[in-house]
Structure 1
Amino acid sequence: MTDTTISPNAQLTGNVLFYRQPEPLSPEMHGNLGVNPADKPWAFLSGTHVVPLTVTEFAAAALNYPVIFVGDQKQPAVVMGLRQGDNLFVDAQGDLRPDAYIPAFARRYPFVYANDEAQNRLILCVDRAAPFVAEGGAMPFFENGQPSAYTQQALEFCNSFEQERARTEGFVKLLTDLDLFETKEARFIPRNPDGTAGEPQRIAEYLAVSEDKLRALSPEKLAELRDNGALGQIYAHLVSLLGWDRLIAMTFQRAAQQAPQAGNA
């Protein structure tokens, strides 16, 4: 089992979405730092249109976004926009839509675990560049040289996230072993001036569970997926794919809102 710790001396590896200046959290380096309440705590999401997701979040996230699988590792993720760097759920002022689900991957920010491969452990880090991290912050990282209650809560949340991440890897492996994945496309069909359907336009290519492959499984295997909870997560993923239409509508809505501004520039 990998250890977790707070340490100023660690050889870290890997890069993580959102984090510009992650540093191993320690009283020596961050004893006077803390976090201030932010008016727009989710503004950092504005430049990201795809955010990783854990499997236990599928049902909640499916109410807002398409849940897809991306990359060689088939990482589950939510799609929050159709264009890179354009998050449809965070406006230009950094305000998050009040009905938007926030993935745990983002909720742990500005904290994150990083690998210290030399000692086979995880080190709690903080993004020193986070706008709400400041000297004398209202919620200090340390009190009397020890992790504060705020930092202890962050440790617990990051520990829980790591457990969910491992569970997600097991879920993806199960689907991979059953050969349930296929490549899908999200398409938009524009309307011609005369009202007829135009030429379909591909807006995204992604990995998803194949409904045909799922139906082809044996009753015994389907029962196994039902009993271990995987089948419910699969259905949540499949239902979420209806959300592509919502993203398309939101894209047109944002473009319409921005058009007068561009004309007045």
Structure 2
Amino acid sequence: MSNTMLFYKNVTALSRETHKALKLEPVTGFEVASNTHWVPTAGVEFYQASPHYPIVFVADGNEDKTAEMPIILLGLEAGKNDYVAKDFSWKSGTYLPAFIRRYPFVIAAENQDAEEFTLCFDSAFAGFNEKKGKPLFSKDGSNSEFLEESIQFINGFNAEMKRTREFVDCLNKHQLLEKRSAQIISSSKVPFNVQDFLVVSEEKMAKLEGKALEELNQKGYLGWIVAHLMSLSNLPKLLDMHLEKKDEKKA
């Protein structure tokens, strides 16, 4: 499973010259995210996301290596987001993941730890035009206030994703991640098998002591682990949503 862009269709480097007249008009709804059943998440989001979504770890297959990363689970069937309704609204009262909030912008770099980045955007997004919306550049060619705010948000997200990779490295260092499969039961007693995801082992956590425990505590990771484990109680709720959407299609 690769986290490379997901629902981004035509990633284009933003150019001060080529795109000087470009504007972004807000598009109502989340149609763009309706066909993804997961998104990568930063550890700092665990607190806000854990009351609403299951947070699990999966293998992130890159060209050079395979690592693990935390994801927010949005559905139980590939290509189907159970948090997006027929009218493409997001489920009311739930936290909106940062990965989705940063869209249609993204920062591209040669590798994850590179210090120089290129700001890109999905030119296939319907909101881009040259007539209506928020301008990306001012008349003098400088970044607009809106674009500066977008860049600040994306830079913050990237920094937190880097911190999250360090978190996963720490979990692996102490061998805390374990593969799990589980049968979850809906409120209507319908069973569903979820296969091959990774979670932090509570058993191994209980055996940690001394410097290992101190390291997790000092880096602020203990709270993230607790939020992750608490989020797993949302799996049956997600199954309820999954079955409800299936029933809607039959009706």
Common fold by TM > 0.5: yes
Matches within 5 A, 1:152-167: 152-167=148-163
Q: CA deviation at 1:133?
A: 1.4
2:218 & 2:145 partners in 1: Cα distance?
Answer: 38
Cα displacement (A) at 1:188: 3.3
Aligned to 2:104: 110
Aligned partners of 1:64, 1:201: CA distance in 2, in Å? 19
Matched residue SS, 1:44: helix
C-alpha contact (below 8 Å) 1:35/1:137 kept by paired residues:
yes
AA at the equivalent of 2:12:
E
Larger radius of gyration: 1
Q: Does 1:77 align with 2:45?
A: no
CA RMSD of aligned residues (A): 2.2
1:34 — aligned with what? 23
Normalised TM-score (structure 1): 0.84
Instruction: Could you tell me which runs of 5 or more consecutive residues in structure 2 were left unpaired when the two chains were aligned.
Output: 60-65
Tell me the alpha carbon deviations over residues 143-187 of structure 1, each in whole angstroms, 9 at most, x when there is no partner. Answer: 121211111111111111111011111111110100001001131
| Mean CA deviation greater in 140-149 or 171-180 | 140-149
In structure 2, C-alpha distance between the alignment counterparts of 1:120 and 1:175, rounded to whole Å: 25
Q: Contact conserved, 2:136 with 2:143, CA < 8 A, in 1? A: yes
Q: Does the CA contact (< 8 Å) of 1:116 and 1:123 recur in 2?
A: no
Structure 2 matches for 1:20-99, cutoff 5 A?
Answer: 20-40=9-29, 42-71=30-59, 72-99=66-93
Scaled by the length of structure 2, the TM-score of the pair is 0.88
The farther-off stretch of 57-66 and 91-100 is 91-100
Deviation of 1:189 (Å):
4.9
Cα contact 1:181–1:210 (8 A) shared by 2: yes
The 2-side partners of 1:136 and 1:204 are apart by: 48
- Asked whether the 8 Å contact 2:177–2:201 carries over to 1, the reply is yes
Three-state SS of the structure 1 residue aligned to 2:178 is: strand
CA distance in 2, matches of 1:138, 1:189: 46
Percent same amino acid among aligned pairs? 34
Q: Are positions 1:245 and 2:213 aligned together?
A: no
Runs of 4+ with >4 A deviation: none
Q: CA shift at 1:29, angstroms?
A: 1.8
What is the DSSP-based 3-state SS (H/G/I as helix, E as strand, rest coil) of the residue aligned with 1:185? strand
- 2: distance between equivalents of 1:120 and 1:153? 20
Comparing 232-241 and 65-74, the one that deviates more = 65-74
Give 1:232's aligned residue: 223
CA distance in 2, matches of 1:130, 1:186: 37
Distance 1:215 1:107 in 2: 36
Structure 1 residue 20, shift from structure 2 partner: 0.7
Q: Can you give the 5+ residue segments of structure 1 that lack an aligned partner in the other structure?
A: 1-13, 261-265
Number of residue equivalences:
240
CA distance in 2, matches of 1:15, 1:223: 34
